[in-house]
Amino acid sequence: MSSPKRKLFIFLFVAPAFIILMGVVVYPFVYNVVLSFSNMNLRHLKDWHLVGGRQYLKVFTEPTEPNFYIVFLKTVVWTTVNIFFHVVIGVFLALMLNRKIKGKAVYRTLLILPWAIPQYIVALTWRGMFNYEYGSINLVLTKYLNLPAVEWLKSPTEAFLACILTNVWLGFPFMMVVALGALQSIPQELYEAADIDGASWFHKLKNITIPLIRPVMIPAITLGIVWTFNNLNIVWLVSNTGEPSDQTHILVSFVYKAAFNLYRYGYAAALSMIIFVILLFMSLTFARRAKVTEGAY
């Protein structure tokens, strides 16, 4: 093929990629930066103008109820607790599934289900299960465990806990599947050699299993952190827009509310920028720290 023809071909393939990048990365990003320095809201939708860093200042100082710092703290708790349980439950179940047992395929399929269901259905269903009078969680608590019923959705702490429980349920299968894949690639000879040396179960876990599944788990955990930090669906739908009285927000639901319920576009754009920077910084630090400790093995 002649050179101009080849160039045309390359152009035809690169052009869509370029247009997409412009449309879904560069344009929203730049526009969001501009918005974050503007006073745009529902009243100033078309006649907005730049107001400097005022919106950023507002994010940090405005005495909203709840304020930025509390929501940020909640987001950190939300992410840490969720990821911790996702990884622990996921790896634990993967270890069980990796043993030679009957019905492995059935267990595996059943355990993946929470990941397969659309998130909004998960959230709405769990919201129903947390109902005080008729929800099955309270019914199980009172009928079988003789515990008092809990007002899941009416008080801040319990509502937040309800969101976390839902999200833990939803997220462990991903980690389980990733860990199972990693476990299956560990050569069996390593364990046999360890057995000959008389290594205990715990030693094998600590010295063979964990170091060998680490390289696969680290990217998955990084991804998990980003997903969980950014998971709007669960908090928004389980707590029904942050009820009671906006006490159940994490940063992304807080900013979604500012943008689409309160129409504070400039403010929401500034807050989005801040969240983005936090997230970028967090995942970079995590990835780097993981790499540094990797050298220890």
Q: In the stretch 150-169, what mask flags binding to other proteins with x, by CB under 8 A?
A: -------------------x
Say whether residue 120 binds other proteins (CB under 8 A): yes
219 binding other proteins? (CB under 8 A): yes
Measured from the CB atom, the residue of 39 and 272 that comes closer to other proteins is: 272
Q: Which of 52, 181, 187, 211 binds other proteins (CB under 8 A)?
A: 181
Is residue 77 near other proteins by the rule CB under 8 A? Answer: no
- In the bound state with other proteins, the residue whose beta carbon lies nearer, of 113 and 296, is 113
Part of the chain binding other proteins (CB under 8 A), chosen from 77-85, 190-198, 269-277, 289-297: 269-277
Query: Which residues in 125-154 contact other proteins (CB under 8 A)?
Result: 125-129, 133-134, 136, 139-140, 143
By CB under 8 A, tell whether 223 contacts other proteins: yes
User: Which span sits near other proteins by CB under 8 A: 31-39, 62-70, 79-87, 189-197?
Assistant: 31-39
Contact 182/216 with Cβ under 8 angstroms? yes
Q: Which two tokens stand for residue 279?
A: 């997230």
How many residues sit in the footprint of other proteins (CB under 8 A)? 92
Among 93, 159, 164, 234, binds other proteins (CB under 8 A): 93
Instruction: Indicate whether 24 belongs to the interface with other proteins (CB under 8 A).
Output: yes
Q: Is 21 in the site for other proteins (CB under 8 A)?
A: yes
